[in-house]
Chains A and B, each alone.
Chain A
Amino acid sequence: MSDLTYVGKNIPKVDAKEKVTGQAIYAGDLQFPDTLFGKIVRCWEHAHAKVTHLDLSEAAKVPGVVKVLGPKDVTQKLYNCGVLDLLASEEVGHMLGEIEDQRIFTDYVRHQGDAICGIIAETQEIAEAAAAKVIVKYEPLPVYLQPEESAKPDAIQFDARKPGNKAFQLPEQMFPNNVYGWGDVDAEMAKAELIIENTFQLPKVKQCQIEPHAYVALFDQRGRLSIWTSTQMPKLVQNKLARLFEMPLSKLNLIPTTIGGGFGGKLGMIFEPETCAMALAVPGRHVKVQSLREEDWVASESRHPGKYWLKIGFLKDGTPVAADALFTADTGAYFTHATGVPFTTGAWLIGMYKYGAVRYKTNAYYTNKAPSGAFRGYGNPQTNFVLEQTVDQACRQLGIDPVEWRKRWHKQVGDDGWCLGIPYASSSLTECLERGAAKIGWAEKRAKYANQSGPKRRGVGVSVMNHTSGAMPMLLEHTVAKVKMNEDGSAVINVACSDVGAGSHTALTQIAAETLGIPMEDIYIDNNMDSAGFDVGSHASRTAYVGGGAVMKACEDVNRQLIERASTRLGIPVDQLEIKNRQVVSKDGKASMSVKEICNVGVSNYINPANGERNGVPGQIQGYASHFPSHNSPPFGACFAEVEIDIETGQTKVVEMVIAHDIGRAIHPPSVHGQLAGGAQQALGMTLTEEIRYDEKGLIQNNSFFDYKLFGPLDMPKLTTILVENPDPGAPYGLKSVGEAGTVNPVGAVANAVSHALGIMFTEAPITPERILKAVNERGIK
């Protein structure tokens, strides 16, 4: 096995003890003296309306109300709460056009939950009571819940800059004919001997992090605006807020708190703008905003729903000659991520198989639903539902085993990944497929469930996926890491990388311990944003990969300095020295200096008055790296699922699942297993139970955990996770990502298992009991 000491070890996570004792401080737990409470007043009764009259006077009279803020009392600047504009070059930015369309408080309601005004009061109860006294009159407008409706020529235009309510298509300058892909699709498709063509309907699914959004902000006498937030992206949100409120970054003090789950739900700004606007209105006092669970569904982003048309042509031997796709994305009420997700939804399609030619197009439209945004997987779960079912349908008709087809046609080392021009440097997907198939008993179960009768039907399905580790080259990838060596030889790593719960601070500590050769207990990850350099934040499964790369380089910088100093003291050339067991030792083993001593004399450095000599090389050792990765080391994975469906009730029970993941190297194996298992819970929800439902007025019908069904402990299948470890040559310690991967391939595997059980392919997710019963009845299955 490996000769690594800390990397790959099954050790408790660095933050587990504070979390298990309740000592970890989340934003809602913060207590400050003299705190005021902010309430964001939302429109609950309309999804599309003009505010014709807003009267805050009665609310302002409630005793204990300190201030009421309408749309005109806060900055009029427009913003996009997403962050992609900070991650793209100016050139790309121009192609995207105007993407800032949100306001802190609005007089034009574009979805239920749009913020109308704010109340600041001495207690939460008073703020709530005053909110009830706000008088708003609306002029209701026609409500558009689907792109087909908002795209109609006579529909009300949400934004004059986006005619036809079309927020985005792939820009011509970068994607000729608005197409992403390669080859001549029409010519290749003409050769097809079998064509599978379907339009799939994808649901609007919520991140449902268990911590509801909460913040504290303070505008102090020095003119600094402080915001305590559990954002996934501290540096980018700091940048966004500084721009919105026109302040230098040095005056925008962002203090990250423990993150109670993110999954994309805390990517970019959420309610930070409203909270900061309130704090700016009451200088010198902390303002706390604790949002409610039921607010989350209406006011914050979700996964992009939409229609996904996919046509793949095959030869009889299974060769996929051409793929043609169009994703019509519903971006919801605001632009938010209308560029990113519609692009990547095609990128995952492109990264998967060796089609003869492929053409992906996408159009994103506004509707009167809550905005769509980032949700773990970023378009990949959607693609998985569509692509993997299409492949299985072809395999069924061609009489080819779905596992064998995938082994034959998945992309390999040297093929381009999701970004054309960036080839895979490693791939263990074939091994994932083989080990997963063996574990679940693929061949036996496929045969056994081929012909069934009776009320309970079993099926087994497979699905594969590709993803990414960081978003280069499409988006900026950059992390700064600083390592300060204390005088006792312990280390503090200062980074802006956040830990959404996935274990990234543990992985970064392991990487530092391994590279420095000092125990994990002697290393602390410091997240102070004033001192930390830039980092993109937690998205695109990047923190262990890019943050880990930065930490590794900064630690190597420390090692270089240690060796140089030892070389000076010992009079031994640097190439004859190495670091072992906290000692700098000569390779012949004859001379050594302890790391602690070097660090100590660097700090406590004296001149001997007798001879004028120093007791060592002066200067505290600090390592530094400003790291831009040169690759995105995409991971692959294979998932197998077995389901049992009761055709009398329509209930689907996921009996067993096996996920084999191409991890490169698992830095912290329990976290990798945990990401896969947790991702599966979210993927199963999207496939079988989760969907935000709207009534015809555009009001959400199920904004509670009671009505929006998440998988609970009894619903989860027996789960085996297999880590296939073949280190990636370009990655720190060979690691590839896992953060988002778990939410992807269980989607296709379960859908394929359902069709194996029933012989019916479902083009609409989630595959609910109602949909199953309807399909079973229509086909007369008994």
Chain B
Amino acid sequence: MKTRSITLCVNGRDYTFEVPHNRTLLQALRDDLKLTDTKYGCGSGECGGCTVLINGKDNINSCLTLAAEMEGKHITTVGGLTKNGQLHPIQQAFVELGAIQCGFCTPGMVMKTASLLAHNPNPSEDDIRRGLEGNICRCTGYENIIRAVQKASQMINASATQCAGGACS
């Protein structure tokens, strides 16, 4: 397998490394960069567990994305939302509203929420349900997750917190 050197900007930090052409972003994050906060749930775009944020706004399934295609883009993972140990309002809302059980879907859900709120700061309940479609949770019945997204939207709007994605130098 041919390899090539790529530079990825993840959570505001540049990483330059060698990857085979077919390396997915999920593999690059987890196996090459040892950033295991993004989860493998299915590897085929069906569970949303591997959702990350691109350029602070769009969400992608990192298991379906080639790492090499992500050059020059800002990638945010759930660990990158936490600044100086301070939880992001979305994370805060997930904690407070009991939206986390086993927590395995949580990184993907939080990043999907970040993307949803970046596009639509005041989503209705239906917008939220639609927006989270594609991210499977087997623990919570989604109920508390939906409440958490509503709360996060209020918190963000009230505090004027900036978009989730960090810029690289």
Chain A residues in 8 Å Cβ range of B72: none
- Contact yes or no, A713 B133, CB < 8 A: yes
Contact of B47 among A124, A679, A705 (CB under 8 A): A705
The reply to whether A21 and B37 contact each other, CB–CB distance below 8 Å, is yes
Given contacts A21-B87, A22-B78, contact A673 B144 (CB under 8 A): yes
Task: Indicate whether A211 sits within 8 Å of B142 (C-beta atoms), given known contacts A16-B95, A23-B79, A293-B43.
Answer: no
Q: Among A20, A24, A501, which residue has its beta carbon within 8 angstroms of that of B110?
A: A20
Chain B residue numbers with a CB within 8 Å of A674 are 98, 101, 139-141, 143-144
A208 surroundings in chain B (CB, below 8 A): 136, 138
Chain B CB within 8 A of A559 CB = no
> Whole-angstrom distance from the CB of A28 to the nearest CB of chain B?
6
**Residues A503 and B101 in contact, CB atoms below 8 Å apart:** yes
A-contacting 9-mer, from B2-10, B53-61, B124-132, B159-167: B124-132
Q: How far is the CA of A501 from the CA of B103 in the complex (A)?
A: 7
Picked from A29, A293, A677, A679, the residue with its CB within 8 Å of the CB of B44 is A293
B140 pairs with A19, CB closer than 8 A: no
A670 interface contact, C-beta 8 A: yes
For window 22-41 of B, CB contacts with A under 8 Å fall at 30-31, 34, 36-41
Q: A16-B94, A17-B87 are in contact. Are A670 and B102 (CB under 8 A)?
A: no
Contact yes or no, B100 A212, CB < 8 A: no
Instruction: Please report whether the interface of chain B is mostly helix, strand, loop or mixed according to DSSP.
Output: loop
Which interface residue of A31, A260, A261, A502 has the most chain B CB atoms within 10 A?
A260
Q: CB distance A293 to B103 under 8 Å? A: no
List the A side residues contacting B141 at CB < 8 Å: 674, 676-681, 716, 719
Query: From A672, which residue of chain B is reached at the shortest CB distance?
Result: B98
A615 to B134, CA, bound (A): 64
Minimal beta-carbon separation of B23 from chain A (angstroms): 10
Inter-chain contacts of B144 with A (CB < 8 A): 670, 673-674, 677
Chain A residues contacting B139 (CB-CB under 8 Å) are 210, 261, 501, 674, 678
Let me know if A712 is at the binding interface, CB within 8 A: yes
The answer to whether B67 has its CB under 8 Å from any CB of chain A is no
A22 near B36: Cβ-Cβ < 8 Å: yes
Specify which of B79, B104, B130 lies most central, judged by the most chain A CB atoms within 10 Å of its CB. B104
What is the CA–CA distance of A12 and B97 in the complex, to the nearest angstrom? 8
Question: What's the Cα separation between A503 and B30 when bound, in Å?
Answer: 27
B120 within 8 Å of A by Cβ? no
Q: Is A355 an interface residue (CB 8 A)?
A: no
Complex Cα distance, B46 from A261, in Å, reads 17
- The reply to whether the CB of B137 lies closer than 8 angstroms to some CB of chain A is yes
Bound together, the chains give a CA A681 to CA B136 distance in angstroms of 11
Contact yes or no, A704 B42, CB < 8 A: yes
Residue among A17, A31, A293 making CB contact with B42, cutoff 8 Å: A293
Kindly identify, within residues 1 to 40 of chain A, every residue whose CB is under 8 Å from any CB belonging to chain B: 12-13, 15-17, 19-26, 28-29, 31
Residues of B within 8 A of A19 (CB): 100, 102-103, 106
User: Does B146 count as interface, using CB distance less than 8 angstroms?
Assistant: yes
Q: Which of B79, B98, B102, B134 contacts A261 (CB under 8 A)? A: B102
CB of B96 closer than 8 Å to a CB of A: yes
Question: What does DSSP make chain A's interface, helix, strand, loop or mixed?
Answer: loop
Q: How far is the CB of B140 from chain A (nearest CB, A)?
A: 5
When distances are taken between beta carbons in the complex, the residues of chain B under 8 Å from A260 are 39, 102-104
* Residue pair A501, B82 in contact (C-beta under 8 Å): no
Residue A710 interfacial (CB < 8 Å): yes
Please measure, in the bound complex, the distance between the C-alpha atom of A501 and the C-alpha atom of B101, giving whole angstroms. Answer: 4
The CA of A678 and the CA of B101, in the complex, are separated in Å by 9
Contacts A21-B91, A210-B104: A719 and B43 contacting too (C-beta < 8 A)?
no
Interface centre among A21, A673, A678, A680 (most CB of B within 10 A): A21
**B27: nearest chain-A partner, CB-CB:** A124
A261 to B106, CA, bound (A): 12
CB of A716 within 8 A of CB of B46, answer no
Query: In residues 192-214 of chain A, which contact B (Cβ within 8 Å)?
Result: 207-212
Q: Which of B53-94 contact A (CB under 8 A)?
A: 77-79, 81-82, 87, 91, 94
Task: State whether A24 touches B103 (Cβ < 8 A).
Answer: yes
Q: Once bound together, how far apart are the Cα atoms of A124 and B107, in whole Å? A: 24
Given A16-B94, A16-B100, A20-B87 in contact, is the A261-B138 Cβ separation under 8 Å? yes
Give the distance in Å from the alpha carbon of A211 to the alpha carbon of B47 in the complex.
Answer: 10
Among A290, A502, A674, find the residue whose CB has the most chain B CB atoms closer than 10 A.
Answer: A674
Asked if A704 and B44 make an inter-chain contact with CB atoms under 8 angstroms apart, the answer reads yes
Q: Is B117 an interface residue (CB 8 A)?
A: no
- Residues of A within 8 Å of B132, CB to CB, are 712-713
Q: Is the CB of A714 within 8 A of B130?
A: yes
- State how many angstroms separate the Cβ of B117 from the closest Cβ of chain A: 15
Q: Which 8 A-B pairs have the closest CB atoms?
A: A22-B37, A501-B102, A19-B103, A677-B141, A260-B104, A670-B98, A29-B36, A705-B46
Q: Which residues of A are in contact with B by a Cβ distance under 8 Å?
A: 12-13, 15-17, 19-26, 28-29, 31, 124, 207-212, 258-263, 290, 292-293, 500-503, 670-671, 673-674, 676-682, 704-706, 710, 712-714, 716, 719
What are 18 inter-chain pairs, A to B, with CB distance below 8 A?
A15-B103, A22-B107, A29-B36, A31-B36, A207-B138, A210-B105, A211-B102, A259-B102, A260-B103, A261-B104, A261-B139, A293-B42, A501-B104, A673-B98, A677-B144, A706-B46, A713-B146, A716-B142
Additional 20 contacts, C-beta under 8 A, given A20-B94, A677-B141: A16-B95, A21-B87, A26-B104, A124-B31, A210-B105, A210-B137, A211-B102, A212-B42, A500-B102, A673-B98, A673-B143, A674-B140, A674-B141, A678-B140, A681-B137, A704-B42, A705-B47, A705-B136, A712-B134, A713-B129
